[in-house]
Every structure is written in structure tokens, then in C-alpha cells.
A and B are shown apart, each in its own frame.
Chain A
Amino acid sequence: MRNDTNLNNFPLIKFEGVGKIFESTGDIALRDVSFEVCAGDFACFIGPSGGGKSTILNIIAGLEKESLGKVSAPAGTSMVFQSAALFPWFNVFDNVALGLRAKKLSKERIYEDTMKYINMMGLGEFVAKFPRELSGGQKQRVGVARALAVNPPVLLLDEPFSALDPKITEELHKDIVRAWTDTRQTIVMVSHSIEEAAALAERIILIKNFTVAKIFPIKLARPRHEQGEAFLRQVLEIRREFFK
């Protein structure tokens, strides 16, 4: 399973026959999951709720451990959470700088990198604001800036737009695509929306019944027009498989 559009063509993340059983309940979360994500790829997992998509992300991030199979993923991945997961006692600057401070970089370097990503996400005027003073979209932008600031080998996005209104979601889609185009960061995302996945990703991995059902390479040119014929045909193809 290779992605034709990846830059470096070597697998950065590799799952081989991975299974996950939650010890506390005995529930199966993943069954015989195998896939690769190459450096520079933008992969998106879609599938029904409770199908194990977020568990895959958590395993890549090292937040959970697989029960079976083999996982190779680089250390130091960072993540954007569905709830943004900002620390309410830190302002925007300190939230974004958090990962950099943990790396024990110099003060000048922390300031430089933090401001670079704050500005990249259009948050320059909100540097001193606290999360409670921000809108949902602004909070999520802070989450993205925080994740990008540590220059991770892989950026993980766990349904980051699911609680936002369509206008803000569209703006954030543009921000993410711009960030990916600028940095060529490997991105792995989870989404419940086929349209969103097709608009953003280079490859869509459909998870059904706790395993990989099908992988769709997305060869649409950018910028992608969600009303365009090729886009709608692609979405229809995935939708058919999704509901099969």
C-alpha cells in the first residue's frame, strides 16, 4: 500500500496485523489492522463511530499500546484534539509554547518558533488572550499552532473540526492545507466526514468493523472544488464503500 503522491516514499508509520482489546472491558477496538503512511503523506481515517479510528491515532501517539501485532511510528508526534485541549490557565502564547518549553529550548528560540506558528495561524492579535476569551475556531487554531510548533515528524488530527460551524471549518481546512503545503509535514487525521476527508487528504483509509476495509488514493488537484464533478464522483465512490 503505497501512496503515489508522497514525497519521500518511505513508510514513517507502519501497522502490521495490529489488534487492540481494552483490558478493562474486554471490548475489541482494532482487529488485524495493517497500513503504511509515508513521509509527507496526508492520510485520513474515516469510518462509522466507535470503529477504532481514534484508537489508531492514540496508538501512533503512544497514548495507548497495541495488544497484538507490530507498530512502528516515530517518537515525538503531536496532536490536535477534538476539544482543542487548551490549558485554561495559559494564554495563547503559553499554550503554543508548551511543547517547546518541554524541549528545554532557549528562551529566544521558544519565542521565535511560538510567534512563527501563532502568526501562521492568524492569531497574532490574540497572543495574550486566554482560551475562555476565544471562539471555537480560534481555540482550534491555537491547538494546530501548538501541534505544529514542536515541528513533529507526524501531525495527528483527531476530528478537530467536528464541533465547529461550517464557515469556520472551511477556513480551518484552508489553514491546514496551507500548513501542509508549506511544511510538507506528514499528517494523519481522523474524520467522520467523507467530504472533509476528500477535500483534505491524499489518501483515505476506511475503517469498518475494527479493521481496514479499503484504501482510496485521492488524486484530485488542489485547490479542490467540493462542487466539482471529479470531487463528487470521488465522494460517491467512498460513500458506496462506507455504507456497503
Chain B
Amino acid sequence: MVALPLAFLIYYNPRAERVLLPLYDIIESVPVLAFFPVIILFFVKFNFFEGAAVFVIFLGMLWNIVFSVVGGLKSIPADIKSAAQVFNLRGLALAREVLLPAIFPNVVTGSLLAWAQGWNIIIVAEVLHTYLPGGTVNQDLFGIGSILVNASAANQGNVFLVAILVMVAAIGLMNFFVWQKLLQYAERYKFE
């Protein structure tokens, strides 16, 4: 919902592309966890700890989809764009009939990469107390990330192992039942 408008803004407006593409590049190249202490301080003000974790995961995942979709939009064959123009597809009809289907494979691969990135960040994003001055474990968010980190710190090998297995199973099931199916389905949207 956020990535597509950011990508389409670049596609539709060459001036915006000149400004935004380098800007996206800079923001994307800064490790998202570098922003985390500042993000936490902001959300703590509103006592909204979940917001901090959600926001940092969102930031970490966003750019994979944005750059993938920009790449997809730019690689639509010239003949296809000409055909759309010749057959009078404009505005919403162009987006619905041509652009959105054309970027579908890129949305899937971008989302898959973003999903993987999300798992990396979640390990850290739930353990809020390490970023708060005088923070305690009680301030952590409950989830696989905080269980892993806190079990490791408390030397609870069994808990750590179970958490790892749960995470591997969740990733494996998601990969098998969602991503593989989507990747397969996306094949029919690819240009020859």
C-alpha cells in the first residue's frame, strides 16, 4: 500500500524520479536498525512500544518492494507500452489492465525479499529494553525475537532451541504454502 505509490510516483513523474530515486537509495542504504533508538524514543513518548517495532520492520521491508516494483515498471517492453497506447488504455484502465499485472512478478519477489528482511529485523525489534536507558525485560514485546534473545541471554538452551524450531517451521510452511505458489503463479505474468 505504501511501496506501490512510491514506485508509481517515480514511474509517472521524471522530475520526481530525479529527486526521489537517489533519496530512496540513501535511505535504503542506511541500516534500518541505526534509526531504531530514535524511533523508540518517539514511540515511547506515546507509550506505544508495538508501534516502534512495527515501524522499524516496515521501514526495513519497504525498500525491497519499492525497488523491485520500480525495476518491474522500467522493464515493461516498449512494444507492450506502445500497444497499450495504440489501444487507448489510459489512467486507471492502463494501471488495471497493464501496469499492475506487469509488475505482479516483481511485487512477489520484492515481498519475498522483504519477508526475509522482516525476519532479520524482528529478532532485534522486539527486544526494546536494550535500546531504552535503564530498560528492563518487561518492556520487551512478546514474540519469537524477544524469546530468542532473552533465552540466549539467560542461557536457556531448551527454550532457545524450541524458538528456533518454531521459526524454521513458520518460515518453511510460509515458503511452501504461500511463496512457492505465488512465484509459480507469477510466471504467467512474465513477458517472454
Binding site for B on A (CB under 8 A): 58, 61-63, 76-79, 81-83, 85, 87-89, 98-99, 101-103, 130-132, 146, 150
Contacts and interface: CB of A to CB of B under 8 A. Distances in A.
Nearest to B97: A98
Given A88-B188, A88-B191, A81 B79 contact: yes
A89 B101 contact: yes
Contacts of B178: none
* Majority secondary structure of chain B interface residues (helix, strand, loop or mixed): helix
A88 B189 contact: yes
Interface in B57-84: 77, 79-80, 82-83
Contacts, number: 58
Interface of B: 77, 79-80, 82-83, 85-89, 93, 97-98, 101, 104, 188-192
Given A77-B86, A88-B192, A132-B188, A83 B79 contact: yes
The 4 A-B residue pairs whose C-beta atoms are closest, nearest first, are A85-B79, A99-B87, A85-B83, A89-B101
B80 A85 contact: yes
A63 B87 CA distance: 11
Contacts of B88: 76, 99, 102-103
Nearest to B88: A102
B38 to A, nearest CB: 43
Nearest to B98: A87
A76 B85 CA distance: 10
A102 B192 CA distance: 24
